[in-house]
């Protein structure tokens, strides 16, 4: 039995996607314990729809319930990539070497632009900003929006600082369509639709290389300004980030946002992959709720980046 004292604070890691939005609403309604705060880590390059959704959540749900939403950041991922003076944490760009070999840059962006500013804020909320040591009896219970269809993510996660302890409330919620396993992503979508939040968007950088073809198509067809922005960025990072180039260490090859390793405006995004077809078949409700595939609706969570799953679907 744990001898750990009760948490000092209960906070939500708010990615503003389906699962974390569900947790915020359930807490605000009193169906889950009251949160002390929610934290949104902003890379500065989210789609407009995410910021609009966040504003609405704050106005209609969080503020009336007395749950402050803290927006934190470690810079602007897009601007930092193009600024030779800025410190930049690498995005998982697809690379084609001069000799034709293919690879992918190691992802450092989630840790830098999402995890790091959340930890800074948590320390501040606890009253022990860096470098003050946090006493062992002071910690936050951090809610993470992982649903039953991805419960293996929760099993793989381990807390790396003693002042944050992860909890996955969706996995223990009664009332899901499948008894005994908590709420699935589909359960969350049903709940959100019934609560007036049927259009909860995916939270991820506009130009995230983990983006699958369905999301690229949606960007091209429905948000042409954001599509143009991604195309421009794709061109600008062809030889790596600006700081590396300025330091005389340009990429040995060329970098791309799309897995096909061709410029984004020429990439085969109209190709419907096997994964996308299978997602369309397996969840009729999600098809009705939103024409995107399940894979393309998942976003970049600070603590359980769903991006890697999309990589297989991105060709």
Site residues (vs ligand SF4, CB under 6 A): 43, 77, 91, 107, 109-110, 113-114, 204-205, 208, 210, 300, 305, 307
Helix (H, G, I), strand (E, B) or coil at 127: coil
Q: Are 8 and 138 in contact (CB under 8 A)?
A: yes
Phi first, then psi, for residue 294 (nearest 5°) are -60, -45
Helix (H, G, I), strand (E, B) or coil at 60: helix
Quote the least distance from Cβ 174 to ligand SF4, whole Å: 32
Quote the least distance from Cβ 181 to ligand SF4, whole Å: 27
Between 73 and 273, CB nearer to ligand SF4: 73
| CA–CA dist 166, 151 (Å, integer) | 13
Q: Nearest-CA neighbor of 213 among 276, 279, 278, 269? A: 269
Between 110 and 147, CB nearer to ligand SF4: 110
Quote the least distance from Cβ 73 to ligand SF4, whole Å: 11
Quote the least distance from Cβ 219 to ligand SF4, whole Å: 13
Between 61 and 72, CB nearer to ligand SF4: 72
Burial 102-137 (b: 16+ CB within 10 A, else e): eeebebebbebbbbbbbbbbbbebbeeeeeeebeee
Quote the least distance from Cβ 276 to ligand SF4, whole Å: 19
Between 38 and 91, CB nearer to ligand SF4: 91
Between 8 and 13, CB nearer to ligand SF4: 13
- Which secondary structure element, helix H or strand E, spans residue 232, and what is its range? helix 224-236
Question: Alpha helix (H) ranges present in 237-314?
Answer: 242-246, 274-282, 284-289, 294-297, 307-311
């Amino acid at each position: 039995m744990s001898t750990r004292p009760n948490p000092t604070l209960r906070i939500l890691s708010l990615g503003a996607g389906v699962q974390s939005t569900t947790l915020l609403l359930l807490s605000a309604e009193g169906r889950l314990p009251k949160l002390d705060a929610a934290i949104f880590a902003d890379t500065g390059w989210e789609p407009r729809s995410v910021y609009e959704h966040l504003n609405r959540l704050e106005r209609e749900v969080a503020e009336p319930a007395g749950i402050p939403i803290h927006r934190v950041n470690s810079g602007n991922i897009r601007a930092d990539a193009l600024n030779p003076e800025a410190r930049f944490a690498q995005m998982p760009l697809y690379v084609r070497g001069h000799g034709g070999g293919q690879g992918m840059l190691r992802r450092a962006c989630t840790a830098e632009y999402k995890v790091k500013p959340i930890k800074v804020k948590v320390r501040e909320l606890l009253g022990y900003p860096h470098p003050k040591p946090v006493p062992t009896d002071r910690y936050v219970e951090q809610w993470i929006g992982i649903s039953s269809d991805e419960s293996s993510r929760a099993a793989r996660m381990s807390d790396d600082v003693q002042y944050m302890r992860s909890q996955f409330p969706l996995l223990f919620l009664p009332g899901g369509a499948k008894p005994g396993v908590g709420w699935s992503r589909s359960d969350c979508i049903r709940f959100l639709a019934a609560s007036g939040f049927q259009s909860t968007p995916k939270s991820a950088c506009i130009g995230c290389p983990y983006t699958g073809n369905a999301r690229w198509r949606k960007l091209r067809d429905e948000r042409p300004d954001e599509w143009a922005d991604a195309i421009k960025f794709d061109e600008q990072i062809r030889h790596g980030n600006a700081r590396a180039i300025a330091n005389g260490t340009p990429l040995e090859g060329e970098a791309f946002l799309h897995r096909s390793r061709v410029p984004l405006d020429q990439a085969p995004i109209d190709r419907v992959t096997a994964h996308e077809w299978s997602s369309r078949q397996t969840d009729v409700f999600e098809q009705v709720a939103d024409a995107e595939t399940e894979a393309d609706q998942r976003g970049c969570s600070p603590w359980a980046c769903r991006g890697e799953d999309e990589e297989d679907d991105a060709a």
